[in-house]
Amino acid sequence: MSQTAPKAVVLLSGGLDSATVLAMAQADGYDCYTLGFNYGQRHDSELRAALRVAAAQGTHEHKIIRLNLDAIGGSALTDGDIDVPEEATGEGEIPVTYVPARNTVFLSIALGYAEVIGANHLFIGANAVDYSGYPDCRPEFIEAFERLANVATKAGVEGAGIRVHAPLMSLTKGDIVKVGTQLGVDYGLTVTCYQADEQGAACGRCEACRLRRAGFDEAGIPDPTKYA
* pLDDT value of residue 4: 87
Highest mean pLDDT among 48-57, 90-99, 129-138: 48-57
> In this structure, are residues 76 and 84 in contact, taking their beta carbons and an 8 Å threshold?
yes
Residue of higher predicted confidence among 98 and 14: 14
Q: Where are the alpha helices (DSSP H) in 37-172?
A: 45-57, 102-117, 139-152, 154-158
Q: How far apart are CA 196 and CA 43, in angstroms?
A: 7
Strand order through the sheet with 7-11:
63-66, 31-38, 7-11, 121-123, 163-165
> How many distinct helices (H) and strands (E) make up the chain?
7, 5
Residue of higher predicted confidence among 167 and 70: 167
* pLDDT value of residue 3: 65
* pLDDT value of residue 132: 61
Q: How far apart are CA 208 and CA 138, in angstroms?
A: 17
Band of pLDDT at residue 114, cut at 50, 70 and 90? very high
> In this structure, are residues 47 and 12 in contact, taking their beta carbons and an 8 Å threshold?
no
Residues paired with residue 8 on neighbouring β-strands, in sequence order: 32, 121
Q: What value does the mean pLDDT take over residues 109-135?
A: 89
Residue of higher predicted confidence among 20 and 73: 20
- Give DSSP secondary structure letters for 147-206: HHHHHHSHHHHHSS--EEE-TTTT--HHHHHHHHHHTT--GGG----TT--TT--B-S-S
Q: pLDDT by residue (tens digit) across 143-179? A: 999 999 999 998 889 888 999 999 999 999 999 999 9
* pLDDT value of residue 25: 98
* pLDDT value of residue 40: 86
CB neighbour list of residue 102: distance below 8 Å, 6 or more residues apart: 39, 69, 136
Give percent of the chain above pLDDT 70: 95
* pLDDT value of residue 91: 66
CATH class of 7-219: alpha beta
* pLDDT value of residue 128: 83
Q: What value does the mean pLDDT take over residues 68-81?
A: 88
* pLDDT value of residue 165: 98
Q: pLDDT by residue (tens digit) across 186-209? A: 999 999 999 999 888 999 999 899
* pLDDT value of residue 96: 81
Band of pLDDT at residue 131, cut at 50, 70 and 90? low
Residue 98 pLDDT exceeds 90: no
Alpha carbon 108 to chain centroid distance? 14
Q: pLDDT by residue (tens digit) across 14-40? A: 999 999 999 999 999 999 999 999 998
Band of pLDDT at residue 130, cut at 50, 70 and 90? low
